[in-house]
Structure 1
Amino acid sequence: MKTSRTAALLSSLLLGAALALTGAGAAHADSSAAAVDYVALGDSYSSGVGAGNYDSSSGSCKRTQRAYPALWAAANAPSSFAFTACSGARTTDVTANQLGPLNSGTDLVSLTVGGNDAGFADVMTTCVLNSEATCIARVNEAKNYVDTTLPGRLDTTYSAIRSKAPSAHVVVLGYPRFYKLNGTCVAGLTENERRAINGGADHLNAALAKRAADHGFTFADVVPAFTGHEICSGASWLHSVNWLNIGESYHPTATGQSGGYLPVFRNAA
């Protein structure tokens, strides 16, 4: 009799545990299946310049299915996906030209912007073509811009995003350091120039992180993901000077998008 009652009690406990696990699994499935409306904004680091296979319909914006927003959408099947990131975009371009798909139902937004405002392309052109002193002076000029002018521009853009998408989870992604110091490169820029350029990237990322936090956005740092895959690393996920397609210079390769930006965004989203 005692054995029978014990068996019945054990059976009851096991059934309860099974129901609890089933319920938890169902709740998890419902959560993971929740519809997501995703909008990808930003500059060339989001459109995918450097990854190749550009969508001809995107014109000079050079969007590609190899960019992290499209890769994330392909893997997660959001209920809607709007890809408005565009090569060369500054904060004012994002605000003026990219926010159309945002609305009160938007759940997720990704964004890279600020590098063009700070003169990224001109910094690199100056450093490649001029002296070390001129290069370092241009980097310092860009850092001064980041300190004095960029925060206000970011505030305007971030506020516009929040106004149009009040409930969205907004992920602001940063930029990688370009160079592995004391790496495999035997020509090109000096170590002092490479160090200054890396410092400029860190300076920009710090400003982006601060403004993102102040607006309640999530900042996603890609520097750790690209560590060991910088130019001069011997396993670079970034183009150096690409004379055949100069616009791809200093942009992530397809592997940089899939192995660098995508996992960082996935973890932050």
Structure 2
Amino acid sequence: MTRTVRTVRSAVLAAIGALALVGSAAGTASAAPPPPAPPPSVVYDALGDSYASGYGVPPYGECGRSASAYAVQLDGRHRLRLDDFVACAGATTLTLVAGGQLAALDAETDLVTLTVGGNDVSWSTAVNACLVGTDAQCTAGVAFVGSRIADELPALLDSLYAQVAGAAPHARVVVTGYPRLFSPEHGAYLGASPAEQRALNGAADALDETIAAAAERAGFEFVDVRAQFRGHGANAPRAWILGATDPGAFHPTADGYRAYTAAVHAALRHPHRGCWHHHHH
């Protein structure tokens, strides 16, 4: 019994001695120069639709948000700190505003990313018409989307971009486009012939060119992902676009979202108009 008590007492004394050593070491350290301050963090807010929310790669949080989203993958790189991730599956230029995404932005925001516009032009309707409809329905669907891209989308984007600039006056704004969904060189996909796939890809090009032009008018940067996705359409052997039978049909796969992340990352490596707009909070 006494031996146990003595052992415990000596162990306690040894522990106290060790604590005392730690204490004195800390005392000495306080005289040393303070560690360098961490670099300022870049306050980052991510807005947009399902392509921005990471839809297609579950599990999902609210609004179809996924950990695969390019915004989540970028968090921590380039000193980025993802402040508000408010992208929401299904968003259009109008519902992005009505749904309150702009509330994420303020004078402290350093970087905004934005992917939106595809849902404004009935994009999915044309894709479905070409996959399961007649040739005439496909042609009509593609023409309808093309006319909405030309006639309606520029003003919708100009309005939204002006509101984004107003809500985040000091931010660098990076707008991403959309990939082409098909690789026609791999042949027909469901009811969509290679020619029909090319027509849909042509509409994707028009969508991207319209978004790029609006971004330029607003003084925003456009990140084009078409080159990254080339050869990785829904009907390619190494598809980066989920196929028609997937619950997240025609959204990026995990590899597709990594391609988005890489494209945005590459754009951020190049200073925009000279520098990051840093605020030291």
TM-score, normalised via structure 1 length:
0.82
Total equivalences in the alignment: 232
What is the match of residue 38 of structure 1?
44
Report matched runs for 1:1-269 at 5 Å.
33-55=39-61, 58=62, 61-76=63-78, 78-96=80-98, 97-183=100-186, 187-242=190-245, 245=247, 248-258=248-258, 260-269=259-268
Is residue 132–residue 190 contact of structure 1 (8 Å, CA) maintained in 2? no
The residue that corresponds to 2:31 in the other structure is none
**Runs of 4 or more consecutive aligned structure 1 residues displaced over 2 Å after TM superposition:** 74-80, 184-188
Pick the structure with greater CA Rg: 2
CA contact (8 A) 1:46 1:68 kept: yes
Residue type of the partner of 1:84? Answer: V
Q: TM-score, normalised by structure 2?
A: 0.78
Which whole-Å deviations, capped at 9, do the CAs of 1:158-209 have from their partners, x for residues lacking one?
0000001011110110000111112155643111210110000000000000
Q: Distance in 2 between matches of 1:186 and 1:268?
A: 33
1:24-58 per-position Cα deviation (integer Å, ceiling 9, x unaligned): xxxxx98x933211010000000011122212xx1
Maintained 8 Å contact 2:45/2:112:
yes
Question: Which amino acid letter does the alignment assign opposite residue 33 of structure 1?
Answer: P
Task: Tell me how far apart the structure 2 counterparts of residues 144 and 138 of structure 1 sit (CA, whole Å).
Answer: 10
Amino acid at match of 2:140: A
| Runs of 5+ consecutive residues of structure 1 not aligned to the other structure | 1-28
What SS is found at the alignment partner of 1:53? coil
**Cα offset, 1:133, TM superposition:** 2.0
Q: CA deviation at 1:74?
A: 4.4
Amino acid at match of 2:261: L
Percent identity reads 36
Taking only aligned residues, the RMSD between alpha carbons, in angstroms, comes to: 1.8
Structure 1 SS opposite 2:251:
coil
Aligned AA (2:263): V
Task: Please list the CA deviations of residues 204-259 of structure 1 after superposition, one character each: whole Å capped at 9, or x if unmatched.
Answer: 0000000000000000000011112112221000011025x2xx11000111101x
Q: Which residue of 2 aligns with 1:10?
A: none
CA distance in 1: counterparts of 2:124 and 2:204, whole angstroms? 13
> Judging changes above 3 Å, is the alpha-carbon distance between structure 1 residues 62 and 184 closer, same or farther for their aligned structure 2 residues?
same
Q: What one-letter code is carried by the residue in structure 1 that aligns with 2:266?
A: N
For residue 262 of structure 1, what is the amino acid of its counterpart? T
Q: How much does 1:72 deviate?
A: 0.4
In the other structure, the counterpart of 1:14 is none
Q: Closer, same or farther in 2 for the Cα pair 1:224/1:142, shift >3 Å?
A: same
| CA–CA distance in structure 2, aligned partners of residues 92 and 186 of structure 1 | 33
